[in-house]
Amino acid sequence: MILGLEQITSFMLTLGLVHDHVSQITKSAECNGNYTEELLNALFPNNVYLPATPEYAESISTYFGSRARLNASVIFVPDVAEQVSTGVKIMEFFDQQFAVRGGGQTSHPGMAGIEDDILFSLERMNELTLTPSKDRASIGPGNLWGRVFETLESSGVAVTGGTLAPVGVPGLLTGNGFSNFLSSRGFSTGDVVNFQVVLGGGRIVNANPAENPDLWWALKGGSNNFGIVTRFDMNTFPLPGGIWSGTLAYNSSQVETVAEAFYEIQTGALVESPHLDVQFMQMVIPGIGLTTTELVPFTDHVNFTGPYPSSLKPLFDIGPSDVSSARKTLTKSSTEAVTPEFIEVTNKRINRANINIKAHKRLYKEISTMLSAHYGSSTLEDHSVSLSWNPVTAHAVRESNRKGGNAGGWQEVNQVSLNLRVNWANAADDMAALKMDEEFMAKLDVAARKWDSLMPNQWANNAAANVDVMGSYGETNLEKLRAVSRKYDEAQIFQTLCRGGYKLWN
């Protein structure tokens, strides 16, 4: 639709601008042909980063991985929900493409970024408050989990945030979210009791069990398809004694035994004692011939005697070559992996992919040798590949369902979420690296089908870029999500103007 000057003028007046200001904006916009940027700049001069400024460069550099660093024409950094609302009205009126970013931890280009159009970056919306009774935290979408844990820790409480400090709040919480408390409390989204959301048209609403419950459900896995979440209200839980966690490193020759032990723990101890989490981490760095095999146990029940919870004895009995374990705070646990090497990775080329499979001992054993077999001979510079095995027990899914459901299509089945994380040095190797990943994921798919263990859904927070994540949630869920989208986003701006992420219609 072509907008006339009269329409544009009257729109600008509805935003509270006076006639003189409107004329100035019109003149500038006629010169550079861009009303949206002129308007954002005029209304919120302190909330706009322009290209070639240090703030712009700094903001773009925070994406996790250089592939995601696209060059928006303007970065809009609102302070409050009302500014987000005005921003959305402007995008809608001028039919302007935009993207939304929280922590920017999605490494796929264009998921939370945009080239030549407008980026809403929520980095300044980092309010964080706790109710006087300490049972509920209100968390702005500009927060990272490390800050959330540290702030709540002084009050002896915690929330089901991500396992690493630099991970952003909003992407994780609209994509189901795995925390170390997954087995006992369900997905992180299960603890969100209210989302404050800016919808199409700029309307600010709450979504909770009493108000807009269908939208509340849809945001538990539905990503950026419905609006921009401007506040998450989460249930807290007491964590006065901190946590215990450890890393058990094994020789690569033990990998199949470790995979079997992981299966036994997942189907035994984790089911009997859900206050336990054990992740299985494999890594291959072909350039230096390094293969690592680790189990990473965690518990918030710290009042055990002896060096580790007795239920973990089978993992120690295998004979790890190295053990580091200790009682610590949740903040420490979330920051200790953030080493200089980790920070270096944030500037590399990064890819991620996911598959979920039913717990199956022989399949686990088979998969455990596939990573080094597939990537071991890679000659790509600085190629580093890891596969993280995250157990999702039937109890975890049941618990999420009890707390209001999950839109992510998770079935009440004891399963493992296999998450591939890859980085390499050079853009020139992108095609080769991505092809290798695609082939590896296809091999996992074949193995899982062979044992009739493939789960249909993909986990939004670690899925590959080209996967139909929303479709993978199942026909019923997809239809419900689409109905919510039609109801709350009549003009469908979060399908057509808000780029990036996994959309409801492909």
Site residues (vs ligand FAD, CB under 6 A): 64, 100-106, 111-112, 122, 141, 162-164, 167-172, 174-175, 177-178, 223-224, 228-229, 461-462, 500-501
Is the separation of the CB atoms in 270 and 183 below 8 Å? Answer: yes
Minimum CB separation of residue 339 from ligand FAD in Å reads: 12
- Residue 291 half-sphere exposure, CB side, CA atoms within 13 Å? 17
Name which of 37 and 277 has its Cβ closer to ligand FAD: 277
DSSP 344-391: HHTTSEEEEEEEEEE--HHHHHHHHTHHHHHHTT--STT-EEEEEEEE
- CB of 361 vs ligand FAD, minimal distance in Å: 25
Tell me the C-alpha distance between 332 and 22, whole Å: 52
Task: Tell me the CA distances in angstroms from 487 to 5, 92, 204, 216, one per residue in order.
Answer: 31, 17, 15, 13
Q: Which of 145, 250 has the CB closer to ligand FAD?
A: 145
Q: Which is nearer to ligand FAD, 400 or 461 (CB)?
A: 461
Using the minimum distance from each CB to ligand FAD, give the nearer residue, 199 or 284: 199
CB of 122 or CB of 454, closer to ligand FAD: 122
The 3-state DSSP class for residue 111 equals: coil
Query: What one-character-per-residue DSSP string does 177-192 give?
Result: ---TTHHHH--GGGGE
Residue of minimal CB distance from ligand FAD? 171
Amino acid at 288: I
| Of 414 and 419, CB closest to ligand FAD | 419
Structural tokens at position 57: 């460069």
- The residue (of 171 and 242) whose beta carbon lies closer to ligand FAD is 171
Q: How far is the CB of 112 from ligand FAD (least distance, A)?
A: 4
Cα separation of 98 and 73, whole Å?
A: 10
* Minimum distance, C-beta of residue 163 to ligand FAD, in the bound complex (Å): 3
Q: Do residues 190 and 220 touch, judged by C-beta distance below 8 A?
A: yes
Nearest CB to ligand FAD, comparing residues 106 and 384: 106
Q: Which is nearer to ligand FAD, 93 or 226 (CB)?
A: 226
CB of residue 188 to ligand FAD, shortest distance in Å: 6
> Cβ of residue 375: shortest distance to ligand FAD, in angstroms?
19
Residue 477 to residue 482: CA distance in whole angstroms = 9
Q: How far is the CB of 155 from ligand FAD (least distance, A)?
A: 22
* Torsion angle in degrees (nearest 10) through CA of 184, 185, 186, 192: -170
3-state SS, residue 434: helix
Closer by beta carbon to ligand FAD, 272 or else 341: 341
What are the tokens at 457? 């859904």
In whole angstroms, the minimum distance from the beta carbon of 162 to ligand FAD comes to: 4
501, 225 Cβ separation under 8 angstroms: yes
As measured in angstroms, the least distance from the Cβ of 242 to ligand FAD is 18
Least separation in angstroms between CB 380 and ligand FAD: 20
d(CA 492, CA 404): 25
Cβ within 8 Å of residue 294, ≥6 positions away: 247, 248, 249, 250, 280, 281, 282, 283
* Cα–Cα distance, 256 to 239 (Å, whole number): 35
Per the CB < 8 A criterion, the answer to whether 324 and 358 are in contact is no
